């Protein structure tokens, strides 16, 4: 699964073509952090290809079976020699250990403060799914998110993996947002080695549940480590007609500067949430809209209710709080995870390239 941004980085274009050429077979993943290799033109494509060819040669595989990812600044040439000169010592030290997985999770970070790993055993430990992710800013995935690698030893065809992954992304990485900016490099990769000899077809229900749980854990780790984030908000959109409108309303609230800054101050200023719903583009009837902060209804049918402001302030002061929106239009429910907007986010992003 890749970014829906029309401006697409060289590694995403290259990796997508490689997956087609290899029929979905991947032998290695090569990831660099600090440079997105995006808006770098034909030189960027050449650089990406060179890194993949070098990696393939050392691993004795085809370049089309090497999947590249890059994350960092846009528009700066990729310094390939910095990568290629480290490939040989990197590969000679390679091994399938928890320490090396942690080292990989650390190496791919940019503004992240913490590495992001999740793992779940299946079939009483005979197989497993393990995921590694990075992402802290430019987090508003649309069918994918910033660099996620999901590994399993279950045996499966590329087609089986694709269908399971698409469904899982919809309810994990596609319902989170830090800042509403969709990256040019978003990638979620699900790789299956087949080493356990257990076939996905036979344990599909368990596999789907396991993958869902790993992806939700990684999505929550990304949000919790969002740039400058102090408070997580679990937005519940209830009584929508369908997923499209529920998502549209959740995203409008989650991207409102006024809502996000109020959350930074744990301010129960729900009028801003109501105003965001009103401009979301969904043709709803404001008279049917109610808002709940924690377990207190603060507004019913778009009219203010009496509530304990101190208690609402206390609820929003928690590291994670809950805001529920009832639309009175249908039966569709959606949970969306988002964050406040702090001065720290501004500080981090006001001085990135220079």
- Catalytic residue ranges: 145
- List, in sequence order, the alpha helices (H) in the chain: 10-21, 41-59, 80-92, 98-107, 158-170, 204-224, 243-255, 257-264, 271-278, 309-317, 343-349
94 binds a copy of itself (CB under 8 A): no
Q: Which of 134, 242, 148 is nearest to 178 (CA)?
A: 134
- Sorted by sequence, the CB contacts under 8 Å of residue 126 that are 6+ apart come out as 196, 198
302 touches a copy of itself (CB under 8 A): yes
Among 299, 323, 334, 337, binds a copy of itself (CB under 8 A): 299
CB of residue 328 vs a copy of itself: minimum separation in angstroms? 14
Give me the least distance between CB of 45 and a copy of itself, in Å please.
Answer: 11
Name which of 166 and 288 has its Cβ closer to a copy of itself.
288
* Binding-site member from 17, 20, 23, 41 for a copy of itself (CB under 8 A): 41
Instruction: Decide: is 239 part of the binding site for a copy of itself (CB under 8 A).
Output: no
d(CA 253, CA 263): 11
In the sheet that 320-326 helps form, which strands lie side by side, from edge to edge?
Answer: 176-177, 332-339, 232-240, 320-326, 290-293, 296-300, 303-304
Rounded Cα distance between 189 and 29, Å, is 10
Stretch that binds a copy of itself, among 96-104, 122-130, 206-214, 276-284 (CB under 8 A): 276-284
Q: Between residue 50 and residue 89, which ones bind a copy of itself under the rule CB under 8 A?
A: 73-77
Member of 271, 328, 332, 333 binding a copy of itself (CB under 8 A): 271
Q: Which residues contact 60 (CB under 8 A, 6 or more apart)?
A: none
Quick one: which of 34, 158, 278, 328 contacts a copy of itself (CB under 8 A)?
278
Question: Which of 33, 261, 297, 333 lies at the binding interface for a copy of itself (CB under 8 A)?
Answer: 261
Pairing of strands 188-192, 303-304: unpaired
Nearer residue to a copy of itself within complex by CB, 239 or 309: 309
- Identify the DSSP state of 199: B
Cα gap 230→232, rounded to integer Å: 7
345 counts as binding a copy of itself under rule CB under 8 A: yes
Structural Rg of the chain based on CA atoms: 22
Question: From the list 61, 130, 333, 349, which residue makes contact with a copy of itself (rule: CB under 8 A)?
Answer: 349
Q: Indicate whether 188 belongs to the interface with a copy of itself (CB under 8 A).
A: no
Task: List residues near a copy of itself by CB under 8 A.
Answer: 4-8, 36, 38-41, 73-77, 137-138, 140, 142, 179-184, 255-258, 261-262, 264-265, 267-272, 274-279, 283-284, 286, 289, 298-299, 301-304, 309, 313, 341-343, 345-354
């Amino acid at each position: 699964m890749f970014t829906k941004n029309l401006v697409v980085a060289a590694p995403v274009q290259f990796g997508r073509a490689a997956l087609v050429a290899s029929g979905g077979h991947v032998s290695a993943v090569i990831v660099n952090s600090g440079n997105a290799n995006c808006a770098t033109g034909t030189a960027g494509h050449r650089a990406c290809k060179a890194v993949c060819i070098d990696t393939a040669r050392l691993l004795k595989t085809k370049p089309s079976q090497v999947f590249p990812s890059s994350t960092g600044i846009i528009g700066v040439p990729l310094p390939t020699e910095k990568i290629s000169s480290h490939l040989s010592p990197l590969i000679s030290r390679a091994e399938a250990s928890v320490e090396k997985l942690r080292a990989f999770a650390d190496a791919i970070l940019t503004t992240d403060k913490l590495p992001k790993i999740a793992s779940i055993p299946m079939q009483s430990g005979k197989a497993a799914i393990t995921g590694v992710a990075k992402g802290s800013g430019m987090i508003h995935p649309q069918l994918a998110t910033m660099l996620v690698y999901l590994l399993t030893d279950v045996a499966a065809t590329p087609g089986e993996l694709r269908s399971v992954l698409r469904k899982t992304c919809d309810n994990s990485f596609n319902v989170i947002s830090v800042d509403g900016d969709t990256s040019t490099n978003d990638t979620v990769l699900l790789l299956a080695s087949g080493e356990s000899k257990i076939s996905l077809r036979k344990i599909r229900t368990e596999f789907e549940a396991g993958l869902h749980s790993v992806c939700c854990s990684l999505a929550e780790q990304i949000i919790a480590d969002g740039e400058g984030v102090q408070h997580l908000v679990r937005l519940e959109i209830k009584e929508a007609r369908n997923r499209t409108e529920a998502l549209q309303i959740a995203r409008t609230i989650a991207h409102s500067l006024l809502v996000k800054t109020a959350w930074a101050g744990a301010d129960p200023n729900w009028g801003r949430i109501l105003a965001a719903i009103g401009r979301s583009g969904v043709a709803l009837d404001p008279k049917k809209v109610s808002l709940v902060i924690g377990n207190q209804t603060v507004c019913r049918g778009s009219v203010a209710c009496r509530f304990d402001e101190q208690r609402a302030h206390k609820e929003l002061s928690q590291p994670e709080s809950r805001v529920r929106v009832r639309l009175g239009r249908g039966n569709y429910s959606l949970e969306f995870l988002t964050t406040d907007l702090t001065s720290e986010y501004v500080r981090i992003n006001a001085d990135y390239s220079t």
